[in-house]
Amino acid sequence: MAKAKATAAPVSVRRDFPHTHRFTIIAQDPSIRVNGRILTTEIEVPAEELAPGPCGYRVNVIDYDASTGVLYSPAVHKLRADGRVHDPFAEKSDGHLTGNPHFHAQNAYAIVMKTLARFEFALGRRIPWGSSGHQLHVAPHAFADSNAFYSKEDRGLFFGYFADQRGQPVFTCLSHDIVAHETTHALLDGLRGRYMEPSSPEQAAFHEGFADIVALLSVFSLRDVVAVLLTPQASDGGKSIAIKHLTAGALKSSVLFGLAEEMGQALSAVRGEALRRSVKLSPGRARSMVEEHDLGEVLVAAMLNAFLAIWLSRLAQLGTTRKGMKSLNLVIEEGARVSDHLLTMAIRALDYCPPTDINFADFLSAMLTVDHEVVPDDSKYGYRDTLLASFRAYGIRPPSSADKGGVWQHCEGELQYGRTHFDSMLRDKEEIFRFLWENRTALAITEKGYVEVQTVCPSHRIGPDGFILRETIAEYVEILTLRADELKKLGIVKPKDMPDWRRIRLFGGGALVFDEYGRLKYQIRNRIENAERQTKRLRYLWNNGFFDAPPDEKGHFAKLHRARAGA
């Protein structure tokens, strides 16, 4: 014993540390209640030793309210003897949760960290925020306004609060959906920084739509929430559910509409209306939508319908407990699995999207390709066919450059690898650029403009055979700056009435996916010299007054969210 004591506390050994901390959060928002009590749940986030705030290695919560000029004291989280964090809000009363800013700080911190961890899990690497710095600021009560947003310049997530019609305060930082949505903006911006550039209505809508998809699928993977939504249909004291409640129409109205209704009660000014519209959106109407804040809803609708269809097909393969009945727990479990799978697919797809001028068709092909790489045989649940069908119903088809089944075409051409080195190609931007330059003809890289390799990063995942699969993902952008009268040299039609002297920036670029041998597998690109695409983009920006006012990156999401709320 004495000997053991002498060598005690080898704390640096990894296995001695817990890998996750558990925190109590509000499951969806305070309006979802069970037996009159707010539905809470515990979630796991990456373990770390927190400074007051909470302030951790990626998130720094500072509770300053600019409308009243007040800074609230930071929440303090102590470690217990077993190395786990002490959750001061486990099993606390509703009043204690809603009335204590330290809980609000914990709630926001935990959901931001969980969303980050979800991205890192899907991509197998660390994901940077879109704003500079490692720690993203989070202000849970930033101002009195029915808005919440990510601001790149201000390096933070800002959550507003407002009074509902009875004069009761509503806190956007307590809504799982809103916190996950804003965090996704920051992460998507970190992965694809050019998606905030003005381009097409679809690119503008993609940020919103994607953030909605991540937020909603995250909610559906919280089993407690789905359980509450299905409880009114349950029998046998909540153990079973009749098959008649498990049709597309029934699940749509119980789970999707149910959630939209719950969310709509107080937060419709911020988010609820958008969700309700996505859920109700019929394929026919989707095609007539052109506004950027409407278009995001089309993407969400296509994804939610795919989620429902896949869930149903998995339920069909589930046995019955007794005649006409299925186990409620298993039904919920299957739903959580589907949403989890789709979420991973959607996040991984980002690596397979072009770095500039994204459109929904590209995103669809990226998802299909990702899934094809992981599960070459899709016959069991038919995820890919279902996705294709659901997106097609909303007018979204894979681009013409995609292969059969909508997946991206493999890179087949003869490429020069002799002047670059395998090891450097795994991490060195200069080396990737050299590779591009040596192969500029084969890869159709512009010689005239500015070309920059923006990122080189690994992507790890478990392959279908159980082995670890390593890919290298690099993205490059091409920028061409010219006068409006020079557009015709590239075959681009200048928008009507645009003066000749107007300075124009054109964007192009691609994502390069290298296999484990360092061979180029996919080049997913938007060529800068694609005259048709550039003509369309310029016409859209010109007609929408982009050239009238200087771009305002700062207020980007604040304005977009407000436009959605008011639409």
SS3 call for 82? coil
The answer to the question of residue 92 lying near another protein (CB under 8 A) is: no
Per CB under 8 A, 156 contacts another protein: yes
DSSP string, 348-406: HHGGGS-SSS--HHHHHHHHHHHHHHH-S--TTT-HHHHHHHHHHHTT----TTS-GGG
Using CB under 8 A, which residues numbered 70 to 89 contact another protein? 70-74
Positive or negative: CA dihedral 157, 163, 164, 170:
positive
Structure tokens at 235: 């029998």
| CA dist., res. 554 & res. 149, Å (int) | 10
Q: Which is nearer to another protein, 34 or 290 (CB)?
A: 290
Q: 456 is written with which tokens?
A: 């080189």
DSSP 232: G
**Cβ closer to another protein: 444 or 563?**
563
Q: Which of 146, 254, 305, 526 binds another protein (CB under 8 A)?
A: 146
- Closest by Cα among 66, 108, 243, 154 to 558: 154
Q: Which of 40, 151, 254, 530 binds another protein (CB under 8 A)?
A: 151
Nearer to another protein, 151 or 420 (CB): 151
Residue 66 binds another protein (CB under 8 A): yes
Q: How many residues bind another protein (CB under 8 A)?
A: 56
Which span (148-156, 406-414, 437-445, 482-490) binds another protein, by CB under 8 A? 148-156
- List the one residue out of 506, 513, 504, 541 whose CA is nearest residue 527: 506
Tokens representing residue 182 in the block = 């804003």
Nearest approach, Cβ of residue 48 and another protein (Å):
18
Residue 68 near another protein by CB under 8 A? yes
Q: 104 vs 326, which CB is nearer to another protein? A: 104
Q: Sign of torsion, CA 88 183 352 419?
A: negative
278 or 344: whose CB is closer to another protein?
A: 278
Beta carbon nearer to another protein, 154 or 438: 154
Q: Which of residues 282-311 bind another protein (CB under 8 A)?
A: 288-289, 294
> At its nearest, how many Å lie between another protein and the CB of residue 55?
8
CA atoms within 13 A on the CB side of 288: 4
Q: In this structure, are residues 44 and 21 in contact, taking their beta carbons and an 8 Å threshold? A: yes
From the CB of residue 452, how many other CB atoms can be counted at a distance below 10 Å? 12
Query: Which residue stretch of 112-120, 143-151, 225-233, 491-499 sits at the interface with another protein (rule: CB under 8 A)?
Result: 143-151
Under the binding rule (CB under 8 A), the answer on residue 135 touching another protein is: no
Dihedral, 164, 167, 169, 175 alpha carbons, nearest 10: -20
Spell out where 257-344 has E strands: 325-327
- 102 binding another protein? (CB under 8 A): yes
Q: Which stretch binds another protein (CB under 8 A): 68-76, 299-307, 473-481, 498-506?
A: 68-76
Q: How far is the CB of 209 from another protein (least distance, A)?
A: 17
Is 130 a residue that touches another protein (CB under 8 A)?
no
Contact between 24 and 40 (Cβ < 8 Å): yes
Nearest of 352, 203, 273 to residue 566 by alpha carbon: 273
**Choice from 114, 207, 245, 277 touching another protein (CB under 8 A):** 277
Least distance to another protein, CB of residue 178, Å? 14
Residue 463 is a binding residue for another protein (CB under 8 A): no
Among 34, 86, 169, 505, binds another protein (CB under 8 A): 169
Instruction: Assess contact for 496 and 459: CB atoms under 8 A.
Output: no
* Closer residue to another protein (CB): 209 or 449: 209
- Residue 33: which of 241, 200, 265, 352 has the closest Cα? 265
Among 18, 64, 92, 429, binds another protein (CB under 8 A): 64
Please report, as residue ranges, which positions from 232 to 271 form the binding site for another protein (by CB under 8 A).
268-269
- Give residues in contact with another protein (CB under 8 A): 62, 64-74, 99-102, 137, 139, 141-147, 151, 154-156, 158, 160-165, 167, 169, 268-269, 273, 277, 288-289, 294, 548-550, 554-555, 558-559, 562, 565-567
